[in-house]
Amino acid sequence: MSPSSRARLRAPAVVATALLTLLIGLLGTAPAQAGTGSAAARTWNVLVGEQSKDMAIQGMRFLPGEIWIHQADSIRFVSNSAELHTVSYGKPPLPPTSIANLEADAFKPVGGPLFDPKARWTNSGVIAPPTPGVPTVRTYQLKFAESGTFTFYCILHGQMMNIVVHVRHQGAPLPHSQAYYDRRAHAESRHIIRDGYALMHETMERASATHVFVGAMDDTAMVMRFMPSLDHIRAGTTVTFDMSANQGVVPHTVTFAKLTGPGGKHVDSGTLLPKAGGGPDHFTWTFGKAGTWHYICEFHDDMGMVGDIAVRS
């Protein structure tokens, strides 16, 4: 093709480009939005919980903790830790003042796949990996047909673990994309894990061979460890297992498989709770037998919450 032929073919494109540039200059450019109204409903992802690789640190956050969606959109809540969580809305039938009440409310799904903001109580059931003795689901999806702002929380960890859902009318701009929420979730996950390890270190500094802290918890993270998890003591020493490092109502136990007490019963603290949960918040035992005695938290041993007491004569 000759140069003159190529020039003739390019001419209409050059003119069209010039006209488009002029039109944009006259009308101005609209700012780009992260999301705009669309006839097609979409599904957004929210992570439930967070954990370190060794599961010692468990996060108490929805990631993200705030999200904007359109009417007819859905949110898929996805289990992101070994700890049990729920997605709950409203007031539970039973006050969450005992383990029995928590289990009764948490384990039972209430409400269908379409969110009803007028319902007194909506609950996902327990969102977690498969857990012996507990009915669980890995994901929970909820569709939003009405606009408004709604706050959901985890009934097991209280109002501190909540997510605010803003539902806008179709056609209204949305401030963020799923990619933005994913980046925020990743950043907050790192913060939660750092906070948890800092809490573990701080609690360990206050512990001793005769004073074992049973987990730790602030308003962001939980430490699923006995601190210290390995004790060396002499026979006749009394050890206190203490829940006072926990700010929230999460139960633990101190359960020995082979150590027996009076009547040949296995040594077991039963369910321990912080004082905020009604206690008992500590357990003491005097170790008279030499040997190494292994113990666990029956609720969280699968996360590595286990310990040993080495007793020498």
pLDDT for the residue 96:
81
pLDDT for the residue 247:
86
Structural domain count, the chain: 2
**Please, what sign has the CA dihedral across residues 277, 122, 186, 181?**
negative
| pLDDT band per the 50, 70, 90 thresholds, residue 6 | very low
Q: Based on the domain organization, do 165 and 292 belong to the same domain? A: no
Residue 152: what are its φ and ψ, rounded to 5°?
-105, 155
pLDDT for the residue 265:
92
Spell out the SS3 assignment of 1-61. CCHHHHHHHHHHHHHHHHHHHHHHHHHCCCCCCCECCCCCCCEEEEEEEEECCCCCEEEEE
Residue 88 near residue 165 (C-beta atoms within 8 A): no
Residue 44 near residue 62 (C-beta atoms within 8 A): no
pLDDT for the residue 159:
85
Instruction: State the Cα–Cα distance between residues 61 and 77, nearest whole angstrom.
Output: 12
Residue 299, judged by CB atoms within 10 A of its CB (0-12, 13-18, 19+), counts as buried
Of the listed ranges 131-135, 225-229, 255-259, the least confidently predicted one is: 131-135
Q: Is there a domain that residue 140 lies in?
A: yes
Amino acid at 11: A
Q: Based on the domain organization, do 188 and 169 belong to the same domain? A: yes
Mean pLDDT value across residues 40-44: 95
pLDDT for the residue 4:
37
Residue 233: what are its φ and ψ, rounded to 5°?
-135, 170
Q: Based on the domain organization, do 184 and 65 belong to the same domain? A: yes
Instruction: State the Cα–Cα distance between residues 127 and 274, nearest whole angstrom.
Output: 24
Q: Based on the domain organization, do 166 and 219 belong to the same domain? A: no
Per-residue pLDDT tens over the stretch 265-309: 999 999 998 887 777 999 999 999 999 999 999 999 999 999 999
What separation, in Å, do the N-terminal and C-terminal C-alpha atoms of the chain show?
100
- What pTM value is reported for the model? 0.82
Q: Based on the domain organization, do 113 and 245 belong to the same domain? A: no
Of the listed ranges 91-100, 125-134, 222-231, the least confidently predicted one is: 91-100
Instruction: State the Cα–Cα distance between residues 227 and 232, nearest whole angstrom.
Output: 13
Is the pLDDT confidence value at 41 over 60? yes
176, 196, 216 - which closes a domain? 196
pLDDT for the residue 39:
58
Instruction: State the Cα–Cα distance between residues 304 and 143, nearest whole angstrom.
Output: 36
Q: Based on the domain organization, do 87 and 167 belong to the same domain? A: yes
Mean pLDDT value across residues 209-236: 96
Q: Based on the domain organization, do 188 and 297 belong to the same domain? A: no
| pLDDT band per the 50, 70, 90 thresholds, residue 23 | very low
Q: Is there a domain that residue 166 lies in?
A: yes
Q: Based on the domain organization, do 150 and 219 belong to the same domain? A: no
Is the pLDDT confidence value at 28 over 90? no
Instruction: State the Cα–Cα distance between residues 48 and 66, nearest whole angstrom.
Output: 13
Q: Is there a domain that residue 36 lies in?
A: no
Q: Is there a domain that residue 5 lies in?
A: no
| pLDDT band per the 50, 70, 90 thresholds, residue 26 | very low
196, 221, 238 - which closes a domain? 196
Q: Based on the domain organization, do 246 and 171 belong to the same domain? A: no
Identify which of 10-19, 220-229, 248-257 has the greatest average pLDDT: 220-229
Q: Give me the CATH number covering residue 74.
A: 2.60.40.420
Q: Based on the domain organization, do 143 and 265 belong to the same domain? A: no
146, 172, 196 - which closes a domain? 196
Per-residue pLDDT tens over the stretch 45-61: 999 999 999 999 999 99
Q: Is there a domain that residue 245 lies in?
A: yes
Q: DSSP of 134-196, one letter per residue? A: B-EESEEEEE--S-EEEEEEETTTEEEEEEEEEEEPTTS-BS--HHHHHHHHHHHHHHHHHHH
Q: What mean pLDDT value characterizes the chain? A: 88
The residue range of the domain holding 211 is 207-312
Mean pLDDT value across residues 249-272: 93
Is the pLDDT confidence value at 191 over 90? yes
Amino acid at 59: G
Q: Is there a domain that residue 275 lies in?
A: yes
Q: Is there a domain that residue 175 lies in?
A: yes
Q: Based on the domain organization, do 120 and 252 belong to the same domain? A: no
Q: Is there a domain that residue 301 lies in?
A: yes
Residue 32, judged by CB atoms within 10 A of its CB (0-12, 13-18, 19+), counts as exposed
pLDDT for the residue 140:
98
Q: Based on the domain organization, do 78 and 184 belong to the same domain? A: yes
Give the helix/strand (H/E) hosting 200.
helix 178-206
Q: Choose between 104 and 249: higher pLDDT.
A: 104
Q: Which residue has the tokens 């799904």?
A: 109
